[in-house]
Chain A
Amino acid sequence: MSGQDPIAAFRVEAGELLDATEQALLDLSHDLESRALIDTVFRGMHTLKGSGAMFGFDALAAFTHHCETTFDSVRKGLIPATAELVALTLAAMDHMRTLVDDRDGSSASAVGEDLLARLHALLGNAHASAATLSDGEEASRVGPAASCLGHQSWHVTFRLPSDALTNGTNPLILLDELRDLGGTNLAVDLSAVPPLDELDPTQCHLGWALDLPASVTREEIEDVFIFVIDDMELSIEAIGNQAEAVGTSGDALPASEDLPIKNSSQVVPVAEARGSPLSRPASESVRVPADRLDLLMDRVGELVIVQSRLAQLTSNGVSGPAGELALRSISEEVERLANELRDTMMVLRMVPIASLFGRFRRLVHDLARETGKSIELETDGESTEIDKTVSERLADPIVHLIRNSCDHGLETEEDRIAAGKSPSGRLRLSAQQAGGEVLITIEDDGRGISRERVRAKAEANGLIQPGQVLSDSELLQLIFQPGFSTASQITNLSGRGVGMDVVKRTIEGLRGNIDMTSEPGKGSVITLRIPLTLAIIDGLLVRVGNGKYVIPLAAVEECLELSLEEDIRSRGRSMIQLRERLVPFLRLRELFATGTRPDPYQKIVVIATGGERVGLVVDQIIGSHQTVIKSMSSLHRSIPSFSGATILGDGGVALILDVVQLVALGQSHEERLRAAG
């Protein structure tokens, strides 16, 4: 993020503040009496209003002011916190987000006015008093502008609080200020100075007296003492004739040259930044903990050292075994650093999934209101970290899955009671890291998925033949087919034209996959498996025929040898006995039509996803490979076996195998063989 743009930083902070305040509001909706939560909401609005005004977000400040006033009334017990108020305030917070993005708020002023009108209506009389309060504030800000006329000058005497010096007040600066106002005839009052042995040098024992011209206002004089005025002795007298006034005791300060109070002509950066066009949207920035940056800095430092070693070596000439050894050691060092830099870089992009989950509390709250169902949301594993981009792209699919669960999965209160369940439906969102992946599960204890209805629908849509034999998981997978919808009645929640096929495609676009289990009457569990990062994976480089391919290492379970004898024996069956289980395998040489002869010692790489396994027969396992994923052009994107490509050390290209698709292919082979008997 830009280190110089407070506006961008404010947008980030305002977003976080709104998130935190929204969480407090959602908590408040379950515990309407909680003073602590009401305070939190009030403080959030208060801070937002204040900082908003500071950074020129006047529309935001003005709008938030009204919400703050409302919660001030709640805080003072003038009006109760109600579900209505919470819902309205949540809507108001959405508007605040708009105003954070759109500083002048012109695009949404009607929305704001409507919300304020509804707040008015809700508050009734309580709001009327709040409105006067805000008018009062306005008035005090203007300030009294009375000027004192009819006298010749001011005589000012003052004595600072005794702790003024220790508290950082410098009397000399105050005297300078008075001089700048035109102060003359300064006299010091030493009467309170104690004997030397009793003198505390940190205390201020002096008093002063001076004259100021009548052109100075009383407010200007008081303003000099603004920070100490409550605790000091100060007298400001209007007197008849300034010219003849003489100090009462001590030495007079020689009248110095009159310095007018400078009108600051300095550039005012904040105000200037206010007028500048919007910089990058706040969502572009990532907040990075300092220790992670330090780590990155360390690595870069090491890289610089290795670079200088390399430079030295090349200038000395790389010759002989010693030179080669030195070069090899540098090469190894660079490799290690590259790996560590990569890892550190990845960590920089990681954000806790809590920020994503936080949004869904609000969603579930709204869905419960819309459907009239009672829904409890539980979340777990919120500290699990995930790549920022991945997290952002996951939001829409998960919103859809939650909508589905709330709309179709969870029953109404009556239905649940009739089914012997708790009246409130339970929705559980959890995240956990497993190897190079994050597992996100969305679980409900609703009615589960009716296989009969899925089948009927799929048959009606021509997705399957009537009576076609399908495994249970295949049947459930039909839900993810384009155009499929299990809702016999389309509601405004799920029937928005986005199907589960879009969810699946989005998840697969993140190189993840989606899996569903469901037990009729008990509920459904949807599991998303998402790679931690998009750009780089650990891969297993293999050779099939003359081509090289990368298998994502996260999916590899084990590697076995396929002896020629076994290969011949298994021909036609394509199954291998793996401990207790028979695992189907695919001969990639045949699948890819390489037209080459098999190596005498072929290998089987067993890959697994979503509990299903398949073996891939390759000619050779070359080794592990740090794979930077490159996308294929649109002309090749529809080929199912590959999810991308990568560039090898020699500049050649290796294709990356799409594990999910290959497992599905292997499974369908197996089932076809089984069906054939």
Chain B
Amino acid sequence: MQQDENLAAGSATPWDDNGQLEVLTFDVGDERLAVEAVSIREILDLLPETPVPGAPDLVASVVNFRGKIIPIADLRVAFGMPRNPAEEAHPDHRIVVIETEIDGEPLQIGLRSDKVHEVTILDRADSSEPPVLGMRWRREFVRELVRQPGSVIVIPNLPTIFTSLAEAA
């Protein structure tokens, strides 16, 4: 019951009944992130971006995605990493288009990614809530951390990131 409410609010990780979750993993800076596979719309090569003067750093530009104007988000801003200057474009760079809901409105956003890895299944048994202390990031921006052999995958709380950082402009 409690979990259902969290789900509706978009703040809980939607583990299935077997405690598993299908995700896409990709790199932003030196962190590996995972986003539920169901919310992924498309993975694009880099597109010419149009900067929006006056927009928050998190979503500083837009692109034409199949005739729709969608914001491009740089999650480095949310995780306090140095921003990647545009001229350092690398062949591995991709835009991961996701669909999420913000303030009840469905919204497509392109996430800048340094490298896209794979669609994989994560196990709840490997996951833990973000620690109260000792994180470089704002705790509410992370839903869960999932231990993998030799690394930790971050499941970001995208609705929270976008509502807090985009409106802070």
B62 touches A632 (CB 8 A): yes
Cβ–Cβ < 8 Å partners of B103 in chain A: 634
A653 touches B166 (CB 8 A): no
Q: Which of B55, B56, B68, B71 contacts A630 (CB 8 A)?
A: B68
Cβ–Cβ < 8 Å partners of B70 in chain A: 633
Cβ–Cβ < 8 Å partners of B59 in chain A: 635-636
Closest Cβ of chain A to B53, distance in Å, is 4
Within 8 A of A (CB), among B89-118: 102-103, 105, 107-109
B64 touches A647 (CB 8 A): yes
Closest B residue by C-beta to A644: B69
A641 touches B50 (CB 8 A): no
Query: Is A401 on the interface with B (CB-CB < 8 A)?
Result: no
A653 touches B54 (CB 8 A): no
A636 touches B55 (CB 8 A): yes
Cβ–Cβ < 8 Å partners of B71 in chain A: 632-633, 635-636
Cβ–Cβ < 8 Å partners of A654 in chain B: 50
Cβ–Cβ < 8 Å partners of B162 in chain A: 635
Closest Cβ of chain B to A625, distance in Å, is 15
Q: Which of A633, A636, A652 contacts B64 (CB 8 A)?
A: A652
A641 to B62, CA, bound (A): 15
A631 to B63, CA, bound (A): 13
Cβ–Cβ < 8 Å partners of B55 in chain A: 635-636, 639
Given contacts A633-B69, A636-B62, contact A642 B52 (CB under 8 A): yes
A655 touches B52 (CB 8 A): yes
Query: Is B133 on the interface with A (CB-CB < 8 A)?
Result: no
B107 touches A645 (CB 8 A): no
A653 to B55, CA, bound (A): 15
Closest A residue by C-beta to B108: A633
Cβ–Cβ < 8 Å partners of A633 in chain B: 62, 69-71, 107-109
Query: Is B169 on the interface with A (CB-CB < 8 A)?
Result: yes
A631 touches B69 (CB 8 A): yes
Within 8 A of A (CB), among B36-65: 48, 50-56, 59, 62-64
Query: Is B67 on the interface with A (CB-CB < 8 A)?
Result: yes
Closest A residue by C-beta to B102: A634
Q: Which of A593, A635, A640, A652 contacts B107 (CB 8 A)?
A: A635
Cβ–Cβ < 8 Å partners of B63 in chain A: 653
A638 touches B62 (CB 8 A): no
A642 to B69, CA, bound (A): 13
A651 touches B64 (CB 8 A): yes
Query: Is A547 on the interface with B (CB-CB < 8 A)?
Result: yes
A641 touches B54 (CB 8 A): yes
Closest A residue by C-beta to B49: A653
Query: Is A592 on the interface with B (CB-CB < 8 A)?
Result: yes
A547 to B67, CA, bound (A): 19
A639 to B48, CA, bound (A): 21
Query: Is A591 on the interface with B (CB-CB < 8 A)?
Result: yes
Given contacts A632-B62, A653-B64, contact A639 B109 (CB under 8 A): no
Given contacts A632-B62, A634-B103, contact A593 B69 (CB under 8 A): no
Closest Cβ of chain B to A534, distance in Å, is 16
Given contacts A633-B69, A645-B62, A645-B69, contact A638 B52 (CB under 8 A): no
A653 to B105, CA, bound (A): 23
A647 to B51, CA, bound (A): 14
Cβ–Cβ < 8 Å partners of A655 in chain B: 50, 52, 62
Cβ–Cβ < 8 Å partners of A642 in chain B: 52
Query: Which one of B50, B53, B109, B166 has the greatest number of beta carbons of chain A within 10 Å?
Result: B53
Q: Which of A632, A638, A639, A640 contacts B69 (CB 8 A)?
A: A632
Within 8 A of B (CB), among A381-414: none
B105 touches A634 (CB 8 A): yes
Cβ–Cβ < 8 Å partners of B51 in chain A: 547
B68 touches A591 (CB 8 A): no
Closest A residue by C-beta to B47: A651
Cβ–Cβ < 8 Å partners of B62 in chain A: 632-633, 636, 645, 653, 655
By the criterion of a CB under 8 Å from any partner CB, how many residues of chain A are at the interface?
25
Cβ–Cβ < 8 Å partners of A652 in chain B: 48, 50, 64
A632 to B69, CA, bound (A): 6
Q: Which of B53, B54, B64, B107 contacts A634 (CB 8 A)?
A: B107
A639 touches B169 (CB 8 A): yes
Closest B residue by C-beta to A653: B50
Closest A residue by C-beta to B48: A652
Cβ–Cβ < 8 Å partners of B169 in chain A: 638-639
A677 to B52, CA, bound (A): 34
Closest A residue by C-beta to B59: A635
Closest Cβ of chain B to A638, distance in Å, is 7
A655 to B55, CA, bound (A): 12
Within 8 A of B (CB), among A304-337: none
B64 touches A591 (CB 8 A): no
Query: Which one of A547, A593, A635, A641 has the greatest number of beta carbons of chain B within 10 Å?
Result: A635
Query: Which one of A634, A640, A645, A647 has the greatest number of beta carbons of chain B within 10 Å?
Result: A634
A227 to B3, CA, bound (A): 76
Cβ–Cβ < 8 Å partners of A636 in chain B: 52, 55, 59, 62, 71
Cβ–Cβ < 8 Å partners of A631 in chain B: 69
Query: Which one of A631, A642, A653 has the greatest number of beta carbons of chain B within 10 Å?
Result: A653
Closest Cβ of chain B to A649, distance in Å, is 12
B105 touches A647 (CB 8 A): no
Within 8 A of B (CB), among A588-642: 591-594, 630-636, 638-642
A594 to B52, CA, bound (A): 10
Closest Cβ of chain A to B83, distance in Å, is 15
Closest Cβ of chain B to A509, distance in Å, is 15
Q: Which of B50, B54, B56, B108 contacts A547 (CB 8 A)?
A: B50
Closest Cβ of chain B to A226, distance in Å, is 63
A639 touches B107 (CB 8 A): no
Closest A residue by C-beta to B73: A635
Interface readout for A170-214 with B: 1 if CB under 8 Å, 0 if not? Answer: 000000000000000000000000000000000000000000000
A652 to B102, CA, bound (A): 26
Closest Cβ of chain B to A332, distance in Å, is 25
Closest Cβ of chain B to A179, distance in Å, is 69
Cβ–Cβ < 8 Å partners of B107 in chain A: 633-635
A436 to B76, CA, bound (A): 44
B54 touches A640 (CB 8 A): yes
Given contacts A641-B53, A652-B50, contact A635 B166 (CB under 8 A): yes
Closest Cβ of chain A to B65, distance in Å, is 10
Closest Cβ of chain A to B107, distance in Å, is 6
Q: Which of A591, A634, A639 contacts B52 (CB 8 A)?
A: A639
Within 8 A of A (CB), among B144-169: 162, 166-167, 169
A640 to B53, CA, bound (A): 10
Interface readout for A639-677 with B: 1 if CB under 8 Å, 0 if not? Answer: 111100101000111110000000000000000000000
A631 to B102, CA, bound (A): 16
A647 touches B50 (CB 8 A): no
Cβ–Cβ < 8 Å partners of A647 in chain B: 64, 67, 69
Beyond A547-B51, A636-B59, A636-B71, 8 additional contacts (C-beta under 8 Å) are A633-B108, A635-B102, A635-B107, A636-B55, A638-B167, A639-B55, A647-B67, A653-B62
| Sample (26) of A-B pairs whose CB atoms are under 8 Å apart | A547-B50, A592-B54, A594-B53, A630-B67, A630-B68, A632-B69, A633-B70, A634-B103, A634-B105, A635-B55, A635-B166, A636-B52, A639-B53, A640-B54, A641-B53, A641-B54, A645-B50, A645-B69, A651-B48, A651-B64, A652-B48, A652-B64, A653-B62, A653-B64, A653-B69, A655-B50
- Considering the complex of A and B, which 9 residue pairs feature the smallest CB-CB distances, nearest first? A592-B53, A653-B50, A635-B166, A645-B69, A639-B54, A630-B69, A635-B59, A635-B71, A633-B71
Residues of chain A whose beta carbon lies under 8 Å from any beta carbon of chain B: 547-548, 591-594, 630-636, 638-642, 645, 647, 651-655
